Amino acid sequence: MTVTRPPGFPPGFLWGAATAAYQIEGAAREDGRTLSIWDAFCRMPGRVLGGDTGDVACDHYHRCAEDVRLMAGLGLGAYRFSVSWPRVQPTGRGPANPRGLDFYRALADDLLAHGIRPVVTLYHWDLPEELEEAGGWPARETALRFADYARLVGEALGDRVGLWTTLNEPWCSAFLGYAAGVHAPGRQDPAAALRAAHHLNLAHGLACGALRTVLPATARLSVTLNPGVVRARTGSCADLDAQRRIDALATRIFTGPLLHGAYPADLLADTRRITDWSFVRDGDTDVIKHPLDALGLNYYAPTVVSAATDNDPPAHGGPSPWPGAERVVFHQPPGKRTAMDWAVDPTGLHEMLMRFTRETPGLPLYVTENGAAYDDKPDAGGRVHDPERIAYVRAHLQAVLRALAEGADVRGYFLWSLLDNFEWAYGYSKRFGMVYVDYATQARIPKSSAQWYARVVRTGRPD
């Protein structure tokens, strides 16, 4: 009997890994870098587990050549990294810091020399602290400053970088940072969070316009979202309405203006008691709806919701990251969990890819983050085996293959993350990397998942 192997990924599919500046770079006070909101947040008592900070992190700022060699050894075709705004433009205003730009020029050059495409994210949550003190993302001025910063980076790296991402997961920046307060800057103001969401959208549009004035015509612009894969617990009208409310706040608050040129009417109605949305000025949505060349999508787990009943406890132990949806209850899906207590459910990735295939036909998609944290430890021989991560990634790559077979135009996949790193409010307690980092010595140990992923990159088959 002939056994037919499942099809692999198409030729030219972009295989990569992703990181973020504050999570790996360290060198927090070197070569002209000023403080970011995460530097400030880490110093607020009780905000980050163990009092951890990103001051040193993985020391990538000093070890980037070693890390590029590591990527090359794995055969990666691309590396998605973020630029530190306070390293490139201290305080968020004025001219560029040459030493900051030189670091990213050298990184991009080294990647290219090893056959690895640099993919740049301009903002992965490290707003300069001085801009936060002047109002942060709830202030319109921050969007204008972001466009200036984008132009500076575009001028410096435009001859090296072909794929650009403006923002990473603006939902987290707006709602975890300004509504729930569990991320930097730690504010708890639902109205401010909604203003922040709009100004992040506006910053994206303004940055795209600024980049187009300095980048080659061949450069491609994108944004990376973490859309909610929101499922109603039951088919009741109340639970379906809860699903609608969370989808509006998790996804359509961004895709509405970014892709379709308007905020959803139901979102405006749901939040009218919190804000009148007067901060949206005439012409803003035209700026936000700048033509995109690609869309980045991050996926980890689905969300299950229901409408609250009188017997339900409060949905959150503290302030909610869901303004206008306080009567929605969140549920853990059944099945396996990662060390983050997130469900392992690759069907959500397939669902997400097919949603955007329907909603944005003709727009190429990239899975810009997907991965899992597990409690990885070296064995007696110094090796790190992580079969759970291999199983997680394999199942999610098979979901991508299924989406491709059904017509999704998925061009690449970036594993989160290259290295174990500073996991925001969890500090160094969670390990997402396919490379183990001994934080005491900064030694890098490729885990078994790294070797497995290298084979997938080489063969195009997640067997």
**Catalytic positions, please?**
169, 369
Which SS3 state, helix, strand or coil, does residue 275 take? Answer: coil
Return the residue matching tokens 């002047």.
134
| Residue 206, CA distances (Å) to 63, 120, 175, 209 in order | 34, 17, 21, 5
The H or E element spanning position 121 is strand 117-123
Q: How far is CA 302 from CA 118, 294, 298, in A?
A: 30, 23, 12
Helices 387-405 and 347-359 sit at what angle, rounded to 10 degrees? Answer: 30
Query: Buried (b) or exposed (e) across 405-419, using 16+ Cβ within 10 A?
Result: eeebbbbbbbbbbbb
Q: Distance between CA atoms of 386 and 374, rounded to whole angstroms?
A: 8
For the record, the structure tokens of 260 come out as: 């379709």
Asked if the peptide bond before residue 417 counts as cis, ω within 30 degrees of 0, the response is yes
Write the CB contacts of 45 (distance below 8 Å, at least 6 apart in sequence): 51
Q: 389 to each of 348, 383, 453, how far by Cα in Å?
A: 17, 15, 10
Q: Which two tokens stand for residue 421?
A: 């790193």
Which H or E run includes 287?
A: helix 284-288
Q: Where are the alpha helices (DSSP H) in 50-96?
A: 60-74, 85-88
